[in-house]
Amino acid sequence: MPTLYFKIIQQICIEKGYQFKNLDSFSEILAQITTPTRQVLISSKGYPLNTASAMKIANDKALTGLVLKNAGINVPEGDYFFISPERRQERPNGKELLDAINYAKVLNYPVFIKPINGLSGNFALLIDNEADLSLSLQRMAQKYFAVIIQKPLFQVEQRIFVLDNKVRFAYTKKRTMIVGDGVSSIKTLMLPFIENQQYFVNSEYIQNNLVAKGYSYTTVLNAEEQFFLSSNANPNSGGIISEIYTSVSKECEAWAINIAKTMGLDLCGIDFFVPQNLTDNPSKFTVIEVNANPSLRTLWRLGYQELIKSIWEDILQKSFK
């Protein structure tokens, strides 16, 4: 568990009179909290409210899509494929690397790819052609065994956080980009982002984007020309959070709670697309994935410490019941 989480939980334990014991002082990934009547283990492997079976399904993006689709919840058009020869003899034909490449042709480029069990937006890429797809899948196969290939939706991405049948917050996620002014170089326009987030220093995605466009860091973008600095909207992959909401409409909340219940999760972060914003009809929402172990660090660092602290207080309180 990150040191930040330990500090939050320790502070709550002091205020509530709980006993806090760090069971792994080196990595800080396991702690024990004791009250006069209960004892709970807290780990970065998952929040104490979710069952292991529900978390395992949610951690597999392919299985999550199947569960949601079966429940009548919108998910992107796509399919999963195995990109590693691991355990090949245990599965039938039709879902291997060549099948993935052929499927992308059927969907038509561009396609969106991501590992079925990836974290923090790792290897979540928009792919424009077969050559880039083949290379990306080969590289992905060094770390992951399966991929999801989807038809991309160019809509507004949102994250909504559900805890115990209630939405606690939501926010809009966007890919980071710079906009040309006809005078400044790409390097100059990037400086504010590099100062605030080290992700952009030596970013492989930016390097590839420059090469694809025939640009360099000294290139001057035309006025209003856009150049993306992140491959996706995940804040851990260089994406940014814009609008933040601590409440949503009753319709939106009911939609989110239904998804959490469908997945069997007491706590989750739901990533989804909306046509314009959260006031749209939820029937128009499309779920990207459901995170059973959503991070709260980003909002904490954006100044929402009291909100995050209250969420952890409720998590611990419910854990003791």
pLDDT tens for each residue of 90-116: 899 999 999 999 999 999 999 999 999
Tokens found for residue 215? 């640009």
Greater confidence (271 vs 321) lies with 271
Work out whether strand 177-179 and strand 226-228 pair parallel, antiparallel, or are unpaired.
antiparallel
Tokens found for residue 26? 């080196």
- The region of weakest confidence among 101-115, 167-181, 192-206, 259-273 is 192-206
What percent of the chain is predicted at pLDDT more than 90?
A: 64
Q: Is the peptide bond before 192 cis (omega within 30 degrees of 0)?
A: no
Query: H helices within 77-219, ranges in order?
Result: 97-107, 130-140, 186-196, 204-213
Contact between 64 and 78 under an 8 Å Cβ cutoff? The reply is no
In this prediction, residue 196 carries a pLDDT of 61
Per-residue pLDDT reduced to its tens digit, 272-313 = 999 999 999 999 999 999 999 998 988 988 899 999 999 999
* Structural domains of the chain sorted by starting position, each given as residue range(s) with its CATH number in brackets: 3-45 (no CATH), 47-75+154-175+232-304 (3.30.470.20), 77-152 (3.30.1490.20), 176-229 (no CATH)
In this prediction, residue 1 carries a pLDDT of 45
By the 10 Å C-beta count (0-12 exposed, 13-18 middle, 19+ buried), 125 is classed as buried
Task: State how far the Cα of 289 lies from the Cα of 122, in Å rounded to an integer.
Answer: 14
Tokens found for residue 276? 């314009």
Shortest CA distance to 72 belongs to which of 233, 215, 258? 258
